[in-house]
Each structure stands twice: as C-alpha cells, then as structure tokens.
Amino acid sequence: MNKKKIIIIVSAIVLAAIISVIVIFVVLKKDAYRILKVFEVEGQASVTRKDIGAIDPYNNMVLESGDTVALVKGVMMLQADEDKFISLEEDTELVLNAAGSSTNSKTTIELKKGTITNDIKNKLSNNSTYEVNTPNSTMSVRGTIFRVSVYEEDGVKYTKISVFEGKVASRLVYADGTISDEEVIIEKGNEVIIYENETTTAYLTAPKPIEYAKVPESVGEILDEAIDDGRDVAYDKNGEGFSGNTDNPSGETGKIVTVTFMYGDSVFGTQTVEAGSTASEPSLVPAQEGSWQWDFSDPVEEDITIKWE
C-alpha cells in the first residue's frame, strides 16, 4: 500500500471519529439542556438567588434551580423547557426547582402564596415529573392546564385547585409534614378546596364544577389560546364567563365555619362546613330522649352551637 493511500485511509478514519464525537456531543448537549427563564415580566417583581440575593428580573432572564420568584404587581410568566409555562398572578411567591434534561425532566414548584396557572402543552415523558406543592397539599400531573391558589382567611390556610385540561392527582400534606396515602383525582372542568386549621387538614368538599365567574380574565386568555391550538379545554366562556376581578388572588372566599354540638355542658362533637351549606345531623345521639335544636335544612353562615334538649 503506497503512502498516498495510507494518508487517505488515516484521514478518513480521523474524520469519521471527529464526526462521531460531534454528533454524540450535540445529542447529549441537546438532551441535557433545559430552558429555565423569565418568559415575560412587567411590573414589580423579584428573583432571589442563594449567595446573591434579590435580582430585578427581565424578559428572557435565565433562572436557576432554587430561585425564589415573586410578583407583587403586574404580570409575569416563567418558562421551563419548550412547553411548560407558569403564569403568576399578583402577590405570588414561589420557589422553582428543576433537574434532569429536557426529555427526562423533574420540575417542582413550591407555591408559598398567591396564584399560578400551569400550562403544560405536551404530555410528559414516562421519566418526567411536574409537581406543585403548597403548605397543605401536593399535586402531580402529566400534561394539563391547571390553576392553584394559596391563601389564608381568619387563620385558616386554603389551597384551591382548578383543572381546565387533563387531570391532576392531589394528596393532603399534614401539619407535621406527612403526606396522605389517599390520592384524589381532579378531572377536567372541576375544582377542589383544601383547608388547614389548628386541628385538621381536609378537603372542604369533593371535586365540583369550576365556578368560571370567579376565574380572572387573564386565565381566560390562556384558555382561549389553548382552544385555538386545538386542545380539549373545559371553558364555559358563554356561560358564567369571567369576572376579571383579581383583587382576591384566590378567586374564592372558601370560608369554613364550625358547628359545635353540645350536650349539657359537654361538647358532643364538631363539624366544619362551607359557609352557606348545611350541617349534617350526627348519626349518634347523646341520650334516648331529646333532639338537636336545629333545622338541618337551614344553611350555616357562621360558627354556631347546637344544643341537645
């Protein structure tokens, strides 16, 4: 074999090796890279980063896992990868945690207060997860549009979850940090409220149809866009419509009241119900003679005491 042929063969081998390295590098880099950024911001907002402190956010600002993001007033949307968007409403604070690759991702949002709308445009891969955690609940999804609110009234902490596309799996998180084994599935077009007081953490009601009149107009714009993209979204635009009122970030008072049943000077039992709903007559009675002095068809608007006489 002459020298010229040897040079050609060696050159071809080297070139093939270089191409292989480049291809592997590009593929691995593409798989490893995750977009995590401020997609849009206008108004009073901040990003707080460990070892740096508060940073004024701007459009297309790159975020890091562990950043605390807050919106006081205005609008703000975050982007994770190419297809996950988180819209913050005013007076919202969250911690954004992201790991893995764009095709094998783990995204966790710790919602401290306020309201976010999550828009996951594509179904997650089998090895990917997307979770939203609040002080009294944790929820996971595969691909959906859902809104989560965290708020407090009269010392009671609430989480409200509204699902517009797909479904969300929710579990209760108790005050000691333990997570309930029971999983509640919230289907498209339904919402649920979780409350936490000094004694318990529980669902206020079973999942029920979304009250669209209490959903801000900004969420309606997200749903309109999803419908234009051909997605199967629950949206009663021509029914109750949207109020456009965002003064209360929860969009729901969700007030609960306590019904105390008294037998003589002793507490026989208590119930917590949503204000405006009815209490349930206890299945057990404290004595053979007597009855509860209450019409159980009447709505309960505030804390009451019902006596056995």
CA separation, residue 288 to residues 150, 264, 284, 292, 309 (Å): 45, 14, 10, 12, 11
Q: Sorting pLDDT into bands at 50, 70 and 90, what band is 154?
A: confident
Distance CA(22)–CA(25), nearest Å, equals 5
Instruction: In the chain, list all ranges with CATH 2.60.120.1440.
Output: 35-228
Q: Sorting pLDDT into bands at 50, 70 and 90, what band is 25?
A: very low
pLDDT of residue 214: 85
Q: Would the pLDDT of 133 be above 70?
A: yes
pLDDT of residue 7: 64
Q: Would the pLDDT of 248 be above 60?
A: no
pLDDT of residue 126: 86
How large is the average pLDDT for residues 212-238?
A: 89
Q: Would the pLDDT of 242 be above 50?
A: no
Backbone angles phi, psi at 235, to 5 degrees: -155, 105
CATH 3.30.300.90 fits 35-228, yes or no: no
How large is the average pLDDT for residues 109-133?
A: 94
Backbone angles phi, psi at 174, to 5 degrees: -85, 170
- Beta strands at 156-165 and 167-172: parallel, antiparallel or unpaired: unpaired
Distance CA(40)–CA(29), nearest Å, equals 26
Query: Mind spelling out the 3-state secondary structure of the chain?
Result: CCHHHHHHHHHHHHHHHHHHHHHHHHHHHHHHCCCEEEEEEEEEEEEEECCCEEECCCCCCECCCCEEEEEEEEEEEEEECCCEEEEECCCEEEEEEEEECCCCEEEEEEEEEEEEEEEECCCCCCCCEEEEEECCEEEEECCCEEEEEEEEECCEEEEEEEEEECEEEEEEECCCCCECCCCEEEECCEEEEEEECCCCEEECCCCEECCHHHCCHHHHHHHHHHHHCCCCCCCCCCCCCCCCCCCCCCCCCCCEEEEEEEECCEEEEEEEEECCCECCCCCCCCCCCCCECCCCCCECCCCEEEEEC
pLDDT of residue 243: 40
Contact 106/98 with Cβ under 8 angstroms? Answer: yes
Q: Would the pLDDT of 284 be above 70?
A: yes
Shortest CA distance to 215 belongs to which of 165, 255, 252, 166? 252
Write the pLDDT tens digit of every residue in 80-115: 999 999 999 999 999 999 988 877 889 999 999 999
Residues 6+ apart with CB under 8 A from 151: 113, 114, 157, 158, 160, 248, 249, 250, 254
Q: Sorting pLDDT into bands at 50, 70 and 90, what band is 137?
A: very high
Q: Sorting pLDDT into bands at 50, 70 and 90, what band is 272?
A: confident
pLDDT of residue 12: 62
Q: Please give the residue that has the higher pLDDT: either 308 or 27.
A: 308
Structure tokens at 142: 């595969």
pLDDT of residue 23: 46
